[in-house]
Amino acid sequence: MSGSDSSSPDRSAPTAIAAIIPAMNEADRIAATVRSAKQIPGVDIIMAVDDGSDDDTGVLARRAGAEVVTHRKNKGKAAAMMTGAFAIRNREISDSDPGEEPQHRALLFIDGDLEDSALATAPLTAPVLAGEADMTIAILPAQKRKGGGFGFVVGLAKKGIADLSGFEATQPLSGMRCLSREAFDAALPFAAGWGVETAMTIDVVNAGLRVEEVECDLHHRVTGKDLKAQLHRAAQYRDVARAIVTRRLRARRRDDKETAK
């Protein structure tokens, strides 16, 4: 386990977890993912976001025990993640008594293709529930980290995160993360598309919040090397580069303002 050295003020830790599963066209895997996520200790809500699927992803997620929010058209992973998180926030507000602060859950983001291994994201929750971390990021054990790609996108994301926040990410594109509400708010607005994880790490670390990486024994669909896979990686590279450039420009503007004072 590794983490940032940033410290943050004491705050009340969440006592429950909402699992949020953004998914598009995952009919073959979503039911197993939901059933596995239901077994994670502390999870009391599973919110699946059907991001414009043209198969039965939403129907099967609901049958497996998830609450489902549906995008009629595909909006991308980042939008689906925010939709799920805001649906949970609205629930917490409606469940609270008038005049009382809502009791916020930790937000556990789970990819829809994890199937039975979704339960293995459970170690992400303990540091957040204990108030020891504001965001945890799943990393595969070392022997499982090899994928089907060439590493260009991962390398870009790693360098961007290190340059802009000082955090040395092991698996910067990992989508399995558990966030406190403070971390979620610090990461808003999410970067578009596949840049969401890279931007999230930069924003949360730079907000002075604590980030830890946790080994999780997960399995998911590995991107291949055919034309479709290469187009997917090109889109990833574009989105990660855009997220990094946006944050670099923000940092430059902040520095210019400080210099001008």
- Provide the token pair at 221: 């669909």
Q: What is the mean pLDDT of residues 150-167?
A: 93
Candidates 113, 129, 100, 98; CA nearest to 14 is: 129
pLDDT above 50 (res 10)? no
Kindly state whether residue 38 falls inside one of the protein's structural domains: yes
Residue 210 lies in a domain: yes
The domain that contains 129 carries what CATH number? Answer: 3.90.550.10
Give 17's contacts (C-beta < 8 A, 6+ positions apart). 40, 42, 43, 44, 105, 106, 107, 108, 125, 129, 178
Question: Average pLDDT for residues 204-210, to the nearest whole number?
Answer: 97
Close Cβ partners of 9 (under 8 Å, ≥ 6 residues apart): none
**Sheet arrangement for strand 106-109:** 2-3, 211-215, 135-139, 177-179, 106-109, 17-23, 43-51, 67-71
Is 1 part of any domain?
A: no
- Sign of the dihedral defined by the CA atoms of residues 217, 239, 243, 82, in that order: negative
Q: Is residue 203 part of a domain?
A: yes
How far apart CA 228 and CA 224 sit, in angstroms, is 8
Give me the amino acid identity at 25.
Answer: N
Model pTM?
0.89
Q: Taking a C-beta distance cutoff of 8 angstroms, is the pair 128, 179 a contact? A: yes
pLDDT tier for residue 191 given thresholds of 50, 70 and 90: very high
* Dist. CA 113–CA 22, nearest whole Å: 10
139 falls within a domain: yes
**Does some domain include residue 177?**
yes
* DSSP 3-state of 188: coil
> Would you tell me how many other CB atoms lie within 10 Å of the CB of residue 90?
11
Domain count, the chain: 1
Average pLDDT, the chain: 89
Alpha carbon of 72 to those of 52, 75, 97, 162, 214: distances in Å?
A: 5, 9, 33, 37, 35
Q: How far apart are CA 190 and CA 109, in angstroms?
A: 14
Give the torsion sign (CA, 81, 49, 67, 64). negative
In a domain, 107, yes or no: yes
Q: What would the two tokens of residue 214 be?
A: 């946790």
Number of other CB atoms surrounding residue 80 within 10 Å:
27
pLDDT on residue 9 = 42
Helix (H, G, I), strand (E, B) or coil at 211: strand
pLDDT at 37: 98
DSSP 71: E
Q: What pLDDT digit, counting tens, does each position of 84-115 carry?
A: 999 999 999 998 888 888 889 999 999 999 99
- Range of 86's domain? 13-260
Which strand (E) or helix (H) includes residue 139? strand 135-139
Residue 6 has a pLDDT of: 45
Give 95's contacts (C-beta < 8 A, 6+ positions apart). 102
Question: What is the percentage of the chain residues whose pLDDT exceeds 90?
Answer: 72
